[in-house]
Structure 1
Amino acid sequence: MWKMGVLKVELVFILNLFLVSGDVYNNDVSEHSLELTQSLNLARQELIQETCRRFPPRFGLDDLPRSQLEHILIDEERKLLYCYVPKVACTNWKRVLMILAGKWNNTDVLSIPGNLAHAPGMFRNLSAVSRPERDFMLENYHKMIIVRNPFERLLSAYRNKLEGETPSAKYFQDRVGRRIIKVYRENPSNESLEYGNDVTFKEFALFLTNKSEELADVVNNEHWAPITNLCHPCLIKYTLVGKYETLLDDSLLALNTINAHNVEFPRLAHTGGTAEKLHTYFSQLDLPLIRRLYKLYKHDYRIFNYDLDNIVGFDLG
């Protein structure tokens, strides 16, 4: 019942945005549309809190190793904590934070090289502060997370890192792809073992769900680790909960909330089309394998109010 209520709020929100502006991705945000976005944001916060009450974590914040807080970046001037999630617009949000911190000489977000935004040491993170300072920030700062349908995010990571042609993809194919092929492919060719650039989606799914000892060091990579493992939403009360599906509106609300009016979150002319390709890729997997994948991401599905059946087209029973 509660989840249906939140779904209704999200549908009303999107319909109202069309009525207000005729364009969900309109940069000229009215006070009315900000109010709608804020209402949706509050509904998402309440859903997270309710789900965490139903499925409480087995440990507390003080039990987490410091390394578990490395994804939470700090902007002290604007009193913002941002938990970045790979494959959920984190490059552009890191670029925005660089501009806000005066680490780039203009306000053109997309002019910042992606590798620079991800450079080690670019941002202070919550793992680097003392416990009293951490607790003060968690109590007094805005706390932002942006999430995405778990399987869509997973497919985006696969397409980008194991199917791609970029230097980053070549790195992952060499470091991870070759090893996946060695473990999960019968009679691999010498070329596949050498380059690792033709990992199938099924092999990738087997790699994630079988937990082989040979691949234990890479199976929890941040690009496909569950969001709940990276950002701990049952331990940290996020006050800005955005979604990839309403990215621009949620980002505009966040910038307005922290009084960052000198920078605009970029409006992208196109996306990678991952959502449209979900069924094509997942149809390559049998139902037991999809169920095992779902088990890995079930907390993300529950907490962030995503529906697997409607998107992937399978009934998990």
Structure 2
Amino acid sequence: MKREQERRKSTLATVCQHLNAPEPTSDYRHLLVNNKHKILFNFIPKVSCSTWKTIWRTLNSKNGKLEMVLPHYRKDDARLRNYRKVLFVREPMSRLLSAYLNKFHSRSRIQRIWESHYGRAIVKRYRGAKNQKPVGGWLDITFIEFIKYITDLGSGIRINGLNDHWLPQYKLSRPCHVKYDFIGHFENLAVEGPFVLRWLGVDNIVHFPEYHSSNAMGHFGEYNESIPPVLMRKLMNYYSEDYKLFGYSPDDVMSLVQEHNTNPMNLET
């Protein structure tokens, strides 16, 4: 684990030298703090963030709240130097598909909210209609429409509590400015989740729950195989910094597509 952490941090540092990432000035809302144990944890939506928030509420057991640090970024905050800092990231396409399935394909109240905030704009932009609704009242935004929308919109938008589910992870974590001590990968969460709690010395207080494979992985090949090459290139460009900074490769996408297309038993829930 130590060697792997050194490799990930070395990769990140090398890319940061060549990445023109502006110094964050405000709107830094994804850093959780536990002052008792001197820990900072950067949560990223669709990277098991609900689990991490539950863990943090337990650690902050006095009030059970998710105490945020740096809601307005201050690079001189001493905690950035003195606290141990943890970040978990995920393969970008897997994270994007997970967001789509949860927000636009769940037939839930969450889908109503997302269709209200983004679905109508997507329909108007790509279907040429303002109030086009299929039977049942759902907009049924397709994965292709969702991809077109986010790549056309671009990543230079103000972060909010909805678009942070698809914005590039480096924009939510500022890894070239916050020097993380541990960079975890969602794909190895079953091992790295419990490990980091032991490393932080809090495994006697909180336990990482049993890991269940993401539903998105069961449908990865099905959805990603349908993306036209031109649109896939735009998407890879959109997430290019995430791929470089966090040690993922666009080749991973095609490998996962092939793996899940040739293994029908891999449709996990």
Q: TM-score, normalized by length of structure 1?
A: 0.72
Q: Which runs of 4+ in 1 moved over 6 A?
A: 215-220
Is the 2:60–2:66 Cα contact (8 Å) retained in structure 1? Answer: no
Count of matched residue positions in the alignment of Structure 1 and Structure 2: 253
Aligned partners of 1:65, 1:222: CA distance in 2, in Å? 17
Cα distance in structure 2, aligned partners of 1:219 and 1:123: 16
Q: TM-score, normalised by structure 2?
A: 0.84
- Separation (CA, whole Å) in 2 of partners of 1:193 and 1:178: 16
Find the aligned partners of 1:192 and 1:240 in 2 and give their Cα distance. 46
Conserved in 1, the CA contact under 8 Å of 2:30 and 2:172? yes
Structure 2 residue 66 is matched with structure 1 residue 122: yes
Unaligned runs of 5+ in 1: 1-36, 106-120
CA drift at 1:233: 0.8
1:308 to 242, 245, 250: 250
> 1:284: Cα distance to partner?
2.1
Which one of the candidate residues 22, 36, 39 is aligned to 1:59? 22
The alignment partner of 2:106 has SS state of coil
Cα gap change, 1:104/1:180 in structure 2, threshold over 3 Å: closer, same or farther? same
- Superposed CA RMSD: 2.8
After the TM superposition, which residues 176-187 of structure 1 pair with which residues of structure 2 at under 5 Å, given as runs?
A: 176-186=118-128
Higher helix fraction (1 or 2)? 1
Q: Which residue is 2:56 aligned to?
A: 97
AA matched with 2:9: Q
Q: 1:196 to 1:123 in 2, by over 3 A?
A: farther
Q: Do the aligned residues in 2 keep the contact of 1:79 with 1:258 (CA within 8 Å)?
A: no
For 2:142, the aligned partner's letter is T
TM-aligned CA distance change 1:78 to 1:193, over 3 Å? farther
Counterpart check, 1:38 vs 2:2: yes
Report how far residue 251 of structure 1 moved.
Answer: 1.8
Counterpart secondary structure, 1:159: helix
Equivalent-residue separation in structure 1 for 2:178 and 2:121 (angstroms): 36
- Contact conserved, 1:87 with 1:156, CA < 8 A, in 2? yes
Give, in whole Å, the separation in 1 of the partners of 2:165 and 2:12: 22
* C-alpha separation in 2, matches of 1:219 and 1:77: 27
**Aligned residue among 137, 140, 149 for 1:198:** 140
Shift in alpha-carbon separation, 1:131–1:244, aligned structure 2, 3 A: closer
Distance in structure 2 (CA, Å) of the matches to 1:223 and 1:129: 20
Q: What is the SS of the residue equivalent to 2:175?
A: coil
CA displacement, residues 81-137 of structure 1 (integer Å, 9 cap, x when unaligned): 1111000011101100111111588xxxxxxxxxxxxxxx732222257654x2x11
* 1:198-277 matches, cutoff 5 A: 198-211=140-153, 221-260=163-202, 261-268=204-211, 270-277=212-219
Relative to structure 1, the CA distance from residue 166 to residue 233 in structure 2 (aligned partners, 3 Å threshold; closer, same or farther) is same
The equivalent residue for 1:27 is none
Does the CA contact (< 8 Å) of 1:148 and 1:245 recur in 2? yes
Which residue does the alignment assign to 1:151?
93
CA distance in 2, matches of 1:89, 1:203: 25
Question: Is the Cα contact below 8 Å between 1:143 and 1:238 reproduced in 2?
Answer: yes
Q: CA distance change for structure 1 residues 168 and 103 in 2, over 3 Å: closer, same or farther?
A: farther
* Paired residues for 1:154-169 under 5 Å: 154-169=96-111
The equivalent of 1:280 in structure 2 is: 222
Task: Give aligned-pair identity as a percent.
Answer: 27
Distance 1:193 1:231 in 2: 40
Distance change (3 Å), C-alpha of 1:216 and 1:265: closer
Q: CA deviation at 1:283?
A: 2.3
- In 1, the alpha carbon distance for the partners of 2:122 and 2:72 equals 34
**Residue type of the partner of 2:207?**
E
